[in-house]
Amino acid sequence: MMSDLLTPLLLPLMVATPLIAALVSILVGSKRLRVGISLLFAILQVLIALGLVLFLSTYQSAIRYELGGWGAPLGIDLTVDGLSALMLMLSSVLVLVLSLYSSQYFSHQDSVRFWPLWWLLIAGLNAVFLAADAFNIFVALEIMGLSAVALVSLGGSRAALMSALRYALVGLLGSLLYLLGVALLYRAYGTLDLLMLSTVADHNPLTWVSLSLISLGLLLKTALLPLHFWLPAAHSSAPAPVSAVLSALVVKASFYLLMRFWFDVLSPATNEIGMTALGVLGAVAIIWGCVAALRAQRLKLLIAYSTVAQIGYLFLLFPLATASGSSMINAGTIAAVVYFILAHALAKAAMFLAAGDIQSYYGHDNINKLKGLVLTLPMAVATFAIAGVSLIGLPPSGGFIAKWLLLESAISSGKWWWAVIMLMGGLLAALYIGKVLSIAFNQDIDRPTVHRPAQNRSAFYGFTLAILAVFCGFNTEWVLNLLEVQFERPLMTSGGVQ
Amino acid sequence: MTHDLLFSITGVVLIGIGLFGSVASTHIIKKLIAINIMGLGIFMIFLSTARHGMITDPIPHAVVLTGIVVAIAGTSLCLWLALKIHLLGEDTTEEVNANDV
Amino acid sequence: MTFSNSLPILIILSALLPGLVTFFIHERQVILRRALNLGGNVTCLVLIGLLINGVYSGEVFETRLPLLPAMDLVLHADALSLLFVSLSGLLWFLTSIYAIGYLDGTQNRSRFFGFFSLCVAATLGIALAGNLITFLIFYELLTLTTYPLVVHKGNAASLRAGRIYLAYTMIGGALLLAGVVWLKTLAGSLEFTATGVLSGLPHLDPDHLKIIFVMLLTGLGVKAALVPLHGWLPIAMAAPAPVSALLHAVAVVKAGAFGIIRVVYDVYGIEFTRDLGLTVILGAVAAFTIVYGSILAIYQDDLKKRLAYSTVSQVSYIALGTAIAGPIATIGGMIHLVHQGLMKITLFFCAGNLAETLKVHKVSELNGVGRRMPLTMTAFTIAALGMIGLPPIAGFVSKWYLGAGALEVDAYWVLVILAISSLLNALYFLPILHAAWFKTSDTKWAVQKTKLETHWMLLLPPVLTAALAVAAGIFASSAISPLSWSELIAAREYGQSIFPNDPSAAFLSSPWGLGWVVLAPLVVAVGVLIPLTRQWSIRLSAFAALPALFVALLASPTTTVLPTLFFGSVLTLDDVSRVILLLAATLWLLAGIYAKGYLANDAHLTRYTLFFLLCMAGSFGLSLSQDLFGFLTFFTLMSLSAYGVVVHTGTEEAFRAGKTYMQWVVIGELLLFAALAGLSSAGNSVQPLWVSSLLLIGFGIKAGLLSTHFWLPRAHPVAPVPASAVLSGLMVKAGLIGWWRFLPLGDEVLLQPGMLLIILGFAGAFWAAIAGWMQRDPKTLLAYSTISQMGVMAAGVGIGLMYPHLWSALSAALLLYVLHHGFAKAALFFSVGIAPIANRGSHLKWWLWFMFLVPVITMIGLPFTSGSIAKATLKISVDGIAWFEWLLSLSAVGTTLLMLRFIELLKQLPVSSRPTSQFTPQIIATCLTVLIILTLGLGVPVMTGIQIIAPTSISMFDAIWPPFIGLLLFIGLYHFRLRIHPVRKPMIQSKPEILENAWKTISDGRTSKLSFEVPLISRIKRNIPSAVEAIIVRISQISIHPGVVLVSLLLCFALMFAVGQAPIE
Amino acid sequence: MFRKLILSESLSSQNEMTLLTRCALALVISILTIGLSAALILSPKAEPVLAIEALDKLALSGVENPVTAVLLNFRSYDTLLEIAVLLIVAVTMSTPSNKQMNQSAADTSRWLSVNDAQFVHPILTALLRWLIPLGILLSGYLLWTGAYLPGGAFQAGAVLTGVGVALAVAGRHHFTWHLFIARFVLTVGLIAFVAMAAGNALATGIVLQYPIEHAGLIILLVELAATISIAAILLMLFTQITALPNTSERLKP
């Protein structure tokens, strides 16, 4: 059947589109043309992702594409299963909206460098989600890392450059540790392909060491608590769309890899202590992130700290996934965490866009000086509030569904203390969201003149993202059974989908 | 057989030195150099797996080659940023924000 | 998506969409915003209407949206949700009109109305939720949409309120979420099913369920403002008035209460909750909240804070209703959901009006506001009285059902809680009403520019909701009323059909036959209110009694049943009610004529006539109605309007008397409420002892029985003469009628109450005679004489209780006695009015004095007068209880003493300067009364058809010796009294003042130590001889010290019980 | 550990970590290294299954040198991404703000412009006359032998960069990078690679799968484009840094 042949082609296309977009945006001279073409490519990317998702949900089977026709161990493969298809869909939708936002956010001078780096970052992201080869992941991680650093440094201010540098150093260190882990795996098992590794890997000290190295490298990039110091500075000093994509996608990509390695590839090497350790770190991250967010003086800093906290939530997956000792990974928790990623990405991106509007209107984003914000930028406040709702996990938002599923798995697996942590996290999040809202609603501002409410279109994009965050809380059926699509072991026969 | 083991041990030692250097020193350039040393250590371990008696495995070589290029790119980006920071301001040890814990 | 499963979602959208669109409307487009908002309201109401008749005709409405694999968003319209949906929809419509008026000219109204509609959409969602998770989603959505409304003003206070509100609701929400998730993992999908989901499931660990219940309760308790979690409600009063009106009266607070009902009935199932013992926790918390909230409300000076605390206590009634776990209590809880909503929203609207137009925020600034904003304050008064629980307003119905439901499951403590809380409600509402209506305002109000007292949009909603509250009360048992609706729900909940066992016998009924008797005065009263027909109706007011007179004399015995009125009110005209109606009609007619002259040039004539007519309607209704609710309603109507008449003169002394009168009326009201609730729940089985004793005391207060009579000698003389005539002549008899209707006279022996009645009756008779004799003001003397006569009648009823076989004869005799006393006492009071002319020695002098003497003689009971006939028939009907006859004659001696003293005092009245011509209506009235007395004395047995033993058989001697001894006693004592100077107005603080001070200190919030300074000691220090005399006065006073009397009452009880227990041969 | 980043050359010790923490850190890291090496020593190396397979398929790859085969045929996707990485760095450093550009008086209309006014030391001019053609020749050779002996695009590119740097240092020649031609040269490597991948997909139906007979030629073309790009990117790195305002004075100690 026709579509059967063409669909696998979508995978390489998924990586090629951003690359081509990057090349074109480098070569193209005028800003308007560059922006137009970029929007076209963004729409194309969404269509491809949609095609992939539809294919998966109808045929319920994962796709594997062998680049260069050489087959798994020798050549490199691209694979897509339920989880990665969902992540691709999320990132392409988000990229579309953020591209629309940044089409008029950047001055001509900046946009020359912004668009190519933006597309290279997206290429890196797509490569990570599609990668099935350990070393290929390293290169993709590196593309994503470096282009993220370059985008953060776009700001040009000293703070931006310093935080970009710190982010670069951390990124480099993380990637090298990851590479060391891959080297050990190659030494022990002789193959770089993830699927082969998952069949061959067993519980011996070398695998355990390489898993911990890989995890350390990825934790550095995901900014879990002790290794999070670089995130607040980087995310808060970057331009709005960049910090949105950083918080929403880049950090999640390394978490996606962690999930792949812990639950898919090297799952025999994982053990109870490691899982609970990650869980505890996550819990501490939630509490600490919220407290720091409460004390933050600048809005973007507050949002960045809230990212640190929300990442803590993600790591609660590890202790809850293995239902009390049995190696069987309970699918409900993974679905919950994926939902969390979905909801958090949309909500956090919306928040950063709102913060971007506030910064461009006021010139600063010092929270205490934002009194009467509700008069001047009503749309920004609405976006911030709705996104806040999803972060806290109040119904009817996606965040609520995620929290519900996590709570349910926590209680059904009898580990109720994680549930307490989650509820505490929700309340703390409510604290700092409430703080910002109460300042925004404070209308007895000394300047009686009512500001002309800024009517720019950019506020609209943040608002749509926030609404998306709420609406993905409704029809969860579709998302959850998409996640069921997984690779059956053992090795699929080569040559595309049978 | 002991040849590649020797290489791997030196690789590990290099990694140790690189790690210590990158963590202990606060000067950017020192840190960068340390990270490069660590990279080389990793490449050494990777290459040490290539020798199997008569057959030499080309995969580690290709991988290391790509690794080197990526490391260069990373380092040059860091240098570029360090240079720009150096040009921008005198205040070399500026705390990014007061309450960064 | 057929219509039946899209209607619920359409209702929510009809509120949601206008809200979302309004956000984007520009501030200046006022018309568009108004149209959108009201359009949304109207569509919502229409859809709800469709929903109601759909459900009524048995159709099932349900919308099911997929949410989670094992659970979906369900909107299901069952009877319970309809109750709440219709309430929210209706009140949303009214509140948005109010909000448009209130926020005229303020900034960012689009934002306000946007969030306003969203918040209502959330409330509708809560109402229509089909399972616990949908409920949770809309519950949290409600918090989110209400926060911007609370902080709408943006000033520091509202921001603080918002912060605290969020803190409370967030924590509550988190607990609720945890509870729901835990329950979900245990019990699977939590669809709301009629008799509860959990009761069906087998292996659920009870103490898990207990913990979950506590978590859910806390989560819901935050919004239902149960005590420890109520902190946010008073603070959230910083929000604008429409917000506090809709939110804190309807949306937020009711959501919490509604949640509790849903959890207890539809998730746990009522029997399952009771077995788990959870209802005890809920009941305890609810009871504590009710009392705590009311106590705190008393101390609040800020009006809105006071209303907030009252909401805290009122909402817990609903929780109490659910906690009692009886079918009738459930009905009580649910209709309170609606009634409290109606009443509370009226109160908040009025508070908003006061704040908006007069900038009045404090209770202390409310003096005389009634005059400046009459319509608002009438609405406020209706709602406040409803909150206290006085019939016929809606509040009474729910309290009644709660009381009856509690008794059904023998939870007596609930009755106590209800009584206490009604008392506390009175404590914090009555001062407001008193200040508003009866005090003159010292501050200068903003001058009233518009024709209406404030913008019509601010005025219409409170008036409408007040009218609804009254209608919900009056037409309680009609088909569409909330009461019948909650009966439907309760029936569904308990799985069997139940109907409140009111003894509403429905037999032959002529439509509206007897209704006119009661309606005539009301119609004229309305005439008085309307300015253009005011003069005519004042002149006609006297003749409003004619229909009653006509019916009493000529109509054949019929019954009118008005099923829709109250709980199905029954008005019957039998022998007893005919006589009483006759007495009432004539007295009201004569008093009306008398008032023409007496109050000709009085400033507050309109107010007097209004209260006069209301009182008349009350008395007619009272005499005719048979059903409990009807009787109590008319009883309350009469007592309340009598207050207006008592304080008519406006002097300081009148106000003090009025206050005491009102205090005792409220106490009486509470006792009667408890007694009648007990009566209704006991059904036609044997009346429990405590019910009859409560009835005794309750009606005893009205009948001026000893120990509960303090208000009588102070209230009656203070009122204008025609009023006090009717007060003494008729209204006092209401107590007697009460005993007549409700005590099981003639069918079972009630030894102890009978004994008590006799003791108190005769003691009162003798004591009143002595006290009356020492008075200087003739009207006070007459008041004491009324007490003594009522004592005699009470004793008669006591006999009836002890010897039921005598009751048939005895009742006829008592009826005659009532007639005789009524007319005689009225004539005496009339004479006091016209005595000034007689003293002036005009040519009418002798004729007038003859007219004064006739009632005196009949009172003494000389032969050939109605008095002698009445006393004789009473003696005969008792046939042979010697000691009763002796006591009766002794009381006659006392009466003679009093009457002679009265004549002496009449002589001393100051001469009035007004020309005799002005007195003509008064003279005519007195002549008529005297004429009636004479005819009564001669021809009464023939006319009224009461079989009377012929007068000849009593020996003349019996009729003569008591007056003769009385005369001797009077002359003898005449000298003695000269030496001790007459008892002037008590120079020392009489006991009622102390009681009244105590009362004031509580209500004014000053908790100064109640110091009972004993005047006796201070006097001894000054001079010994006058001390002796003071002691005598003290003794007479001491007897009426409330504390002492209550102690004596208890002693009598104890004595009675002792006697009762002791085996009687 | 990464919190404080300083650039001041002053070797003041107050910024360094205290001696105690350094020793502790050293101890921890040495433990880690010992652990790692123990793991390495204990665990056996896997059999070279993949190596054997790669060597067997070498004939199909169109080149003799196994490393180039792996680099440009078996794992060509990695190389593609690798060039993209280089491109990232190039883009970050491209077109510094115009104010930095116009300091150098050179004409900015052409990519490689000669400006005679600049004085150049005679010995250096002579040296360049010899070196530049030799460099280009050497890089061509390296590129060609890549197929048989260790060599290939990266080595050739590096040598070519050396040539470029020599030119730039001489000062006579000046490179301007914001022109289209410059940007095209930077991206030609990636463009060629992607075009080849797309071409293969049309020809053999699978992306990045060379038709067997032309594999060698296509690899050579791609390598050529890659060499040019790599050379241009590295050269730009150098020129952009020297173009930064008065870098020379700043670098004084």
Structural domain count of chain A? 1
Low-confidence winner among A67-76, C43-52, D229-238 (lowest mean pLDDT): A67-76
Q: Which pLDDT tens digit goes with each residue over C464-517?
A: 888 888 888 777 777 667 777 777 777 776 665 554 444 333 333 445 567 777
**Does B30 reach chain D within 8 Å, measured CB to CB?**
no
Spatial neighbors of C287 by CB under 8 A, at least 6 apart, are C316, C320, C413, C414, C417
> Does residue C554 sit in the same domain as residue C433?
no
ipTM confidence score? 0.80
Question: With left for phi above 0 and alpha for psi between -120 and 50, is residue A156 left, alpha or beta?
Answer: left
Q: Which pLDDT tens digit goes with each residue over B9-46?
A: 999 999 999 999 888 888 888 899 999 999 999 999 99
Which of C738, C745, C657 lies closest to C700, judged by CA? C738
CB contact under 8 A, A400 and C155: no
> Does residue C488 sit in the same domain as residue C525?
no
Comparing CB atoms, the residue among B39, B63, B98 nearest residue A135 is B63
Please state, rounded to an integer, the average pLDDT across all residues of chain C.
77
Touching chains, A (3+ CB pairs < 8 A)? B, C, D
> Does residue C385 sit in the same domain as residue C457?
yes
In C945-1022, which residue ranges form alpha helices assigned H by DSSP?
Answer: 956-979, 991-1004, 1015-1022
Residue D89 backbone dihedrals phi, psi, to 5 degrees: -60, -40
CB contact under 8 A, C159 and A408: no
pLDDT for residue C760 is more than 60: yes
Q: Please tell me which residue of chain C has the smallest CA distance to A430.
A: C170
Comparing CB atoms, the residue among D42, D95, D210 nearest residue A205 is D42
pLDDT of residue A67: 83
pLDDT of residue C956: 65
pLDDT of residue B11: 92
> Does residue C487 sit in the same domain as residue C524?
no
Range of the structural domain that residue A384 is part of? 271-487
Average pLDDT over every residue of D20-36: 90
Q: Which pLDDT tens digit goes with each residue over A2-56?
A: 456 677 788 889 999 999 999 999 888 888 888 999 999 999 999 999 988 888 8
CB < 8 Å from B in window 196-235 of D: none
CB contact under 8 A, B26 and D16: yes
How do the domains of chain B map onto residue ranges? Answer: 2-88
Residue C88 backbone dihedrals phi, psi, to 5 degrees: -65, -45
pLDDT for residue C860 is more than 50: yes
pLDDT for residue C273 is more than 50: yes
Which residue would you say has higher pLDDT here, A180 or C628? Answer: A180
Residues in chain B within 8 Å Cβ distance of A186 = 46, 49, 59-60
Average pLDDT over every residue of D207-225: 86
Amino acid code (one letter) for A454: A
CB contact under 8 A, A76 and D39: no
Residue C475 near residue C565, CB atoms below 8 Å: yes
Residue C695 near residue C1036, CB atoms below 8 Å: no
User: Is C664 a domain residue?
Assistant: yes
**Closest Cα in chain B, distance from residue D119 (Å):** 28
Instruction: Calculate what percentage of chain D has a pLDDT beyond 90.
Output: 22
**Closest Cα in chain B, distance from residue A364 (Å):** 15
Q: Which pLDDT tens digit goes with each residue over C411-442?
A: 778 888 888 888 888 888 888 887 887 777 77
Average pLDDT over every residue of C345-370: 84
Residue C863 near residue C959, CB atoms below 8 Å: yes
pLDDT of residue D1: 54
Residue A211 near residue A261, CB atoms below 8 Å: yes
pLDDT for residue A382 is more than 70: yes
User: Beta partners for A249?
Assistant: none
Q: Please tell me which residue of chain A has the smallest CA distance to B32.
A: A169
Residue with tokens 């004939």: D59
Spatial neighbors of D251 by CB under 8 A, at least 6 apart, are none
Residue C475 backbone dihedrals phi, psi, to 5 degrees: -95, 45
User: Is C1011 a domain residue?
Assistant: yes
Comparing CB atoms, the residue among A162, A164, A192 nearest residue B94 is A162
Rounded Cα–Cα distance for residues C823 and C835 (Å): 18
Name the 3-class secondary structure at C191. strand
Instruction: Calculate what percentage of chain C has a pLDDT beyond 90.
Output: 2
Q: Which pLDDT tens digit goes with each residue over A344-366?
A: 999 999 999 999 888 888 888 78
Q: Which pLDDT tens digit goes with each residue over C708-756?
A: 777 788 877 788 888 888 888 777 888 888 888 777 776 777 777 788 8
Average pLDDT over every residue of C194-209: 74
When pLDDT is cut at 50, 70 and 90, the band that residue C684 belongs to is: low
> Does residue C588 sit in the same domain as residue C628?
yes
Q: Which pLDDT tens digit goes with each residue over C549-574?
A: 777 777 677 777 666 666 667 777 77
**Closest Cα in chain B, distance from residue D163 (Å):** 19
Residue A424 backbone dihedrals phi, psi, to 5 degrees: -60, -45
Range of the structural domain that residue C547 is part of? 507-748
pLDDT for residue C586 is more than 90: no
What are the CA-CA distances from residue B93 to residues A162, A238, C530 (Å)?
10, 20, 86
User: Is A425 a domain residue?
Assistant: yes
Low-confidence winner among A245-249, B78-82, C664-668, C932-936 (lowest mean pLDDT): C932-936
Q: Please tell me which residue of chain A has the smallest CA distance to D54.
A: A74
Tokens for C348, please give them.
């908040």
Which residue would you say has higher pLDDT here, C761 or C450? Answer: C761
CB contact under 8 A, D88 and A139: no
CB contact under 8 A, D75 and B58: no
User: Is A22 a domain residue?
Assistant: no
Rounded Cα–Cα distance for residues C353 and C345 (Å): 12
Residue C290 near residue C227, CB atoms below 8 Å: no
Which residue would you say has higher pLDDT here, C453 or D44? Answer: D44
Q: Please tell me which residue of chain A has the smallest CA distance to B71.
A: A172
Q: Are strands C61-68 and B51-52 parallel, antiparallel or unpaired?
A: unpaired
pLDDT of residue C506: 38
Q: Please tell me which residue of chain A has the smallest CA distance to C164.
A: A434
Tokens for A491, please give them.
């090795």
pLDDT for residue A179 is more than 90: yes
pLDDT of residue D31: 92
CB count within 10 Å of CB A322 equals 22
**Does A309 reach chain B within 8 Å, measured CB to CB?**
no
Average pLDDT over every residue of C972-977: 67
Which of C307, C306, C290 lies closest to C343, judged by CA? C307
Spatial neighbors of A417 by CB under 8 A, at least 6 apart, are none
Which of C155, C497, C838 lies closest to A443, judged by CA? C155
Average pLDDT over every residue of A93-112: 86
Residues in chain A within 8 Å Cβ distance of D209 = 68-70
CATH number of B2-88: 1.10.287.3510
Residue A453 backbone dihedrals phi, psi, to 5 degrees: -60, 130
User: Is C879 a domain residue?
Assistant: no
Low-confidence winner among A60-69, A293-302, C1013-1022 (lowest mean pLDDT): C1013-1022
Comparing CB atoms, the residue among B22, B49, B70 nearest residue A173 is B22
Comparing CB atoms, the residue among A395, A474, A475 nearest residue C140 is A395
Residue A68 near residue D77, CB atoms below 8 Å: yes
pLDDT of residue C67: 76
**Does A404 reach chain C within 8 Å, measured CB to CB?**
yes
Burial class (CB in 10 A: 0-12, 13-18, 19+), A437: buried
Comparing CB atoms, the residue among A161, A179, A301 nearest residue B97 is A301
CB < 8 Å from A in window 37-66 of D: 39-40, 42-43, 45-50, 53-54, 57
In the listed set C748, C768, C784, which residue is the last one of a domain according to the structure? C748
Rounded Cα–Cα distance for residues C360 and C302 (Å): 9
Comparing CB atoms, the residue among B28, B35, B99 nearest residue A172 is B35
What are the CA-CA distances from residue D217 to residues D147, D196, D214 (Å)?
10, 12, 5
Q: Which pLDDT tens digit goes with each residue over C174-201?
A: 999 999 888 888 887 778 877 667 766 7
Does chain B reach chain C with at least 3 CB pairs under 8 Å? no
> Does residue C665 sit in the same domain as residue C734?
yes
CB contact under 8 A, B81 and A135: no
Average pLDDT over every residue of C76-97: 86
pLDDT of residue A242: 92
**Closest Cα in chain A, distance from residue D185 (Å):** 10
Q: Which pLDDT tens digit goes with each residue over C150-178?
A: 888 878 888 888 889 989 999 999 999 99
CB contact under 8 A, B5 and D41: yes
pLDDT for residue C105 is more than 90: no
**Closest Cα in chain D, distance from residue A424 (Å):** 29
In the listed set C472, C497, C522, which residue is the last one of a domain according to the structure? C497
**Does B93 reach chain D within 8 Å, measured CB to CB?**
yes
User: Is A348 a domain residue?
Assistant: yes
Average pLDDT over every residue of C295-304: 86
Comparing CB atoms, the residue among B5, B80, B82 nearest residue D93 is B80
CB contact under 8 A, B27 and D154: no
Residues in chain D within 8 Å Cβ distance of B59 = 50-51, 54, 70, 75
Comparing CB atoms, the residue among D37, D47, D92 nearest residue B12 is D37
pLDDT of residue A143: 94
Spatial neighbors of C367 by CB under 8 A, at least 6 apart, are C435, C436, C439, C440, C441, C442, C443
When pLDDT is cut at 50, 70 and 90, the band that residue C1031 belongs to is: low
Residues in chain B within 8 Å Cβ distance of A135 = 63, 66
When pLDDT is cut at 50, 70 and 90, the band that residue C978 belongs to is: low
In the listed set C748, C781, C803, which residue is the last one of a domain according to the structure? C748
When pLDDT is cut at 50, 70 and 90, the band that residue A144 belongs to is: very high
Touching chains, C (3+ CB pairs < 8 A)? A
Low-confidence winner among C398-402, C970-974, D191-195, D247-251 (lowest mean pLDDT): D247-251
Residue C9 near residue C74, CB atoms below 8 Å: no
Spatial neighbors of C841 by CB under 8 A, at least 6 apart, are none
DSSP state of B11: H
3-state per-residue secondary structure call for B36-75: HHHHHHHHHHHHHCCEECCEECHHHHHHHHHHHHHHHHHH
Half-sphere exposure of A298 (CA within 13 A, CB side): 21
User: Beta partners for A63?
Assistant: A80
CB < 8 Å from A in window 173-212 of D: 180, 183-184, 186-187, 190-191, 194, 197-198, 201, 204, 206-210
User: Beta partners for C65?
Assistant: C73
> Does residue C586 sit in the same domain as residue C663?
yes
Residue A86 near residue A486, CB atoms below 8 Å: no
> Does residue C492 sit in the same domain as residue C521?
no
> Does residue C461 sit in the same domain as residue C557?
no
Low-confidence winner among A177-191, C123-137, C632-646, C858-872 (lowest mean pLDDT): C858-872
